[in-house]
Chain A
Amino acid sequence: MTSSPDVHIRFSEVDKAFGTQTILDKVSFEVPRASAFCLLGRSGMGKSVTLKLLAGLLAPDAGRVLVDDENIPELSPTQLSHTRQKIGFLFQQAALFDSLTLGQNIAFPLERHRKLSATETREVVDKRLSQVGLAGNEGKMPAELSGGMKKRAGLARALALEPEVLLVDEPSAGLDPITSTEIDELLLELKSEAGTTMVVVTHNIPSARRIGDRLAVLHDGKILAEGTAAELEQSEHPMVREFMNSKTGG
């Protein structure tokens, strides 16, 4: 199977179970380069697990997880480390390093992988922090931040290495509507200007409509429906239509 050149991420017939609990049952989807794929679904349906499979944090029981035509589960540790530098990950709970300040959190990947001077690193940190509306907070410790601020700081860290692929777990959870819209705009800008490919897990339907080129609903181990927002509204599944009609963010 040769993929068309513009497919960046291909999730192919993936099975994943924890013990006897099946999470994903032959799930497949594709994400074209420089587009956003929004993954919707109720809590506990395996959305975070899907992102972790894409980043190689979990191994699938069967199937292939291709990023840039590389099968993530088959990569050697060195190859995986190389590929991961091209993938940014925003965790559901932000997962900031709590022994480091905000600035140090964002500088961390730069210090590990880029040969920058201290001043250059500072400039990148400042730029990333102001992109997410946290300018001037680089000295704060993660414990001093609200949930929404942690989320934005986590996004700034995920963007530090200018990844080609961005995996985002519930970006608007814990954010007020205005900040949430600003984050959506940042993601849209990354997509159109930097050509970033993204997989976004969200409960926020208005946000998914704004940023998602394609949306999919994950339910009981299967993708129930996949398409543009307009297509999903017309879905024959009542649950999918109900999902699309919910106005509230989560």
Chain B
Amino acid sequence: MQKLIDFLQRFGELVVFAARAVGSLARRPFEVRETIRQIAEIGYASLPLITAAGLSVGAVMSMHTRASLERFGAEALIPAALAIAMIRETGPLVTGLLVAGRVGASIGAELGAMRVTEQIDALETLAVDSFKFLAVSRILACMIALPILTTVMDFTGILGGFVVETAISNMSFELYFQQAFSGVGFADFITSTLKTTVFGFIIGTIGSFIGYTASGGSAGVGRASTQSVVFSSISLIVVNVVLVRVIFFLFPEMQ
């Protein structure tokens, strides 16, 4: 019972933290330099991971799609089926979860270490708004980086599918991509990719909140890192369900 109360209290604090972050996103002073640094740290440095994962996921999905569609003699649909699956759902979700692992852990650990070694207090005594400097810059960087990383994941995924497909059926590059994009509307791409801005907000906010409120020395830093990954991954999966419902409601033609 006490555990439930503690959890609800923490959750309430998280909501307040998130609301404060939303309120700060558009208010001066903007920590432009720090935000750009974080986009590089979070976005650019995740590119190898996202590219490798995209190629592999695309290749595997292509093999499965082929196995299913072959039975109905519908091999011609393979590129389109893969592209739709990748762009609508697999790309956004896999990117979100990979970033939640890589970036969520590092935000939780870095801010946690800064909290327990009083570096956050030191920022404050140097007349710097530590919330904006540390948390808001990271949240904003995640929100900007995720749609870009997702787009990279989508394309490398389709590319991975092409590699498998051309090895089996000798399909040409032009034909594959022409067929792949025949089934994908621009609305598909925009809605599913912009959705990941919300994923970025979740990852940045939960990581920052847990790190910012960490306590208890280096053990506390380890806990903060783990909790950031666990809670941002779970929240992301759950919120995704809601977002998909909302998108279908707003754009019924996508069903």
Contacts and interface: CB of A to CB of B under 8 A. Distances in A.
B129 A84 contact: no
Contacts of B124: 55-57, 84
B127 interface: yes
A243 interface: no
B125 A55 contact: yes
Nearest to A100: B119
Nearest to B125: A89
A84 B126 contact: yes
Interface stretch (A106-114, A172-180, A184-192): A106-114
A155 B228 CA distance: 34
Nearest to A56: B124
Interface string B171-211: 00000000000000000000000000000000000000000
Contacts of B127: 81-82, 84-85, 109, 112-113
A98 interface: yes
Interface string B139-175: 0000000000000000000000000000000000000
A87 B122 contact: no
A93 interface: yes
A112 B119 contact: no
Interface residues of B, number: 13
B117 interface: yes
Nearest to A154: B122
A91 interface: yes
Contacts of B128: 112
Nearest to B128: A112
B121 interface: yes
Interface in B50-92: none
B129 A87 contact: no
Contacts of A82: 127
Contacts of A98: 113, 117, 119
B126 A108 contact: yes
A112 B119 CA distance: 16
A95 interface: yes
A249 B85 CA distance: 69
B118 interface: yes
A96 B125 CA distance: 12
Nearest to A83: B127
Nearest to A88: B125
A97 B119 contact: yes
Contacts of A52: 121
Interface in B104-134: 113, 117-119, 121-129
Contacts of B129: 77, 81
Contacts of A77: 129
A55 B122 CA distance: 10
B126 A91 contact: no
Contact of B121 (A85, A88, A91, A161): A91
Nearest to B131: A77
A19 to B, nearest CB: 13
A89 B126 CA distance: 8
8 contacts: A52-B121, A57-B124, A84-B124, A89-B125, A95-B119, A96-B119, A98-B117, A161-B126
Interface of B: 113, 117-119, 121-129
Shortest beta-carbon contacts, A-B, top 9: A89-B125, A95-B122, A95-B118, A84-B127, A81-B127, A109-B126, A85-B127, A91-B118, A57-B121
